[in-house]
Amino acid sequence: MSGVARLTRSIASNWLHLALNIGVSFFLSPFVVNKLGSVYYGIWAVTMQFTGYLYLLDFGVRESVVRYTAKYCARNQNRQLNDVLTTAFAVYVPITAICILLTILCAWGIPRWFNIDAAHAAEARWAVIFTGLTIAQTFFFNVFTGVLQGLHRFDVMNMVGMATTVLRTVLIVVLLGRGYGLVALAAIQFGVAVLAGLINASFALKQLRAAGMAFRPVWLTRRRLLALGQRIFGYGFYVLVNNVAQKINFASDAVVVGIFMPISAVTYYAIAGSLVEYLRQLITSTAQVFSPMSSQLHALRQHDALGNLLIKGAKLTVVVTMPIAITYTLLGSEFIGLWMGEEFKDRAGPVLAILGFTQILAAPHYVISSVLYGMSQHRSIALLRVAEATAKLTLSVVLIKKLGIVGVALGSAVSHAALVLFILPVMICRKLSLGLWKYFVGVYRGPLLASVPFLAGAWLLQRYLPAGNLAIFFVQIAALSAIYLPCVYLLALGAEEKQMVRGILGKLGLRIPARGG
């Protein structure tokens, strides 16, 4: 299968999985908020963000597995791959144990560290325990998910993910509907995650055999184990630094709000934050497939192809982001009012507008990160992330005292925009000997032109024809999207990209005249 075909298959399956997750979350979020109440939902939001820092214990090992799987499979080096996978398992054993110990500590401390009263403390602790165990089991199965990603089999992972998403949703609806609460919600997450991990492990071993490789644990001498560990951690150290800073940038807002404001305020921020997180997941699911491809191109020294991959990938993320970010910015408050109720409109809407607009600027940086990871040139981005995290926390703490949750959103937006719009493009263009003007024109010009009709239509709807219910709202967005897609084809895609689109649509029985290219 060609590189373009693999990318198309991976991105399409990522989008399908994400679409299911978003659809489920859209209908499930009001249900969970209603069943738990604002206090328990606030505790759940804090628990998810707070314990989410335990994922940092990965130390970049999974990303190392992805890179070396792609590299050694491209070179057909089975022995070297087995050495790396064996070492990864050896590293994950103590990491899992440490994660469990830290989970116990977090369970003890969470009522003391946040504004959680004694009446809710026990359930908060159990929620932390189950959430921490969910993260702990992830480390063991990370080797197998890393193998699947390194083999470009995102479609297999997504198939498993979609099946377990449906199962998790059914369990949540049934148990919460019967009166179970926060603890049951956390227990469901744990049980389904273990099941998904077992299935992914089975598929990973099968896909290795299909690729002419096989995983057989090997006995490594102490010297060999240390050498491989240093190689993995050498790559993974700056992955860890980047992940720590990125966790602060993207997953600390609820923690800041929970410390400086009543716990119920977290719910309002979390509603807007969850919508932006869906968009981030969409962009990430698009961009992450470029990391193993970059590893292959870099290993084969195809530098011109790598620069071309960067521009096309970054442009794709902007194309995907524009309509959603415009909707969040102009129509976000209206949507939240229709979705969650008028109570949430004025509090969560401004946060969504600020964070949504920021994503227009931020979209290409996800592909930049993937390319840098594939080239093992991620040290610089890790250090820049640290600077961004420092600025973000400082601004958020200062502004929350004056502007409340809107101040937290502004602190996040300002620090993030400075990095992703100015600093990162300059850095990646220097590393690839790529003209900065060529990068900006290639990435932004077409998507911005294509989005003008969508932007005008959204403004007119906001001003003159606000939706009266969710059904009308979605019809309006669908109509704008029907205008946006042909604009993208005509104004944002190059000849090769148009030919690929025509090929995909042709398989679906649809035809676009070649003169459109």
* Predicted pLDDT at 502: 66
* Predicted pLDDT at 199: 93
- Give CA separation, 45 vs 264, 400, 438, in Å: 10, 18, 42
Cβ neighbours around 201 below 10 Å, total? 17
Residue 150 near residue 68 (C-beta atoms within 8 A): yes
**CA-CA distance, 89 to 82, in Å (whole number)?**
11
* Predicted pLDDT at 506: 61
Number of Cα atoms under 13 Å in the Cβ half of residue 418: 14
**CA-CA distance, 40 to 27, in Å (whole number)?**
18
Sequence-distant (6+) residues with CB within 8 A of 429 are 435, 436, 439
Least Cα distance to 365 among 275, 252, 286, 272 occurs for 286
Q: Which tokens belong to 404?
A: 């409340």
Q: Which tokens belong to 299?
A: 């290993």
* Predicted pLDDT at 517: 40
**Torsion angle in degrees (nearest 10) through CA of 283, 286, 292, 293:** -120
Residue with tokens 């050495």: 83
**CA-CA distance, 37 to 54, in Å (whole number)?**
26
Query: What's this model's pTM, rounded to 2 decimal places?
Result: 0.65
**CA-CA distance, 188 to 167, in Å (whole number)?**
10
Q: What is the pLDDT of residues 6-30, one digit of tens each?
A: 667 777 777 788 788 878 877 777 7
Q: Which tokens belong to 109?
A: 């401390």
Angle of the 365-374 helix axis to the 379-403 helix axis, nearest 10: 150
* Predicted pLDDT at 236: 57
Q: What is the mean pLDDT for each group of 10 consecutive residues in the chain (517 residues)?
A: 62 79 78 73 68 68 78 78 82 86 83 71 83 86 86 84 90 85 85 91 87 76 69 63 69 75 76 84 77 69 76 88 93 87 83 89 83 72 80 86 85 82 84 86 92 94 87 92 90 76 58 53
Number of DSSP helices (H) and strands (E) in the chain, helices first: 20, 0
Q: What is the pLDDT of residues 145-179, one digit of tens each?
A: 888 888 878 888 888 989 998 998 899 888 888 87
Least Cα distance to 461 among 294, 324, 330 occurs for 330
**CA-CA distance, 292 to 301, in Å (whole number)?**
14
CA 289, 292, 294, 297 torsion-angle sign: negative
Residue 181 near residue 123 (C-beta atoms within 8 A): yes
Residue with tokens 């989005």: 451
Sequence-distant (6+) residues with CB within 8 A of 479 are 457
Residue with tokens 């990303």: 63
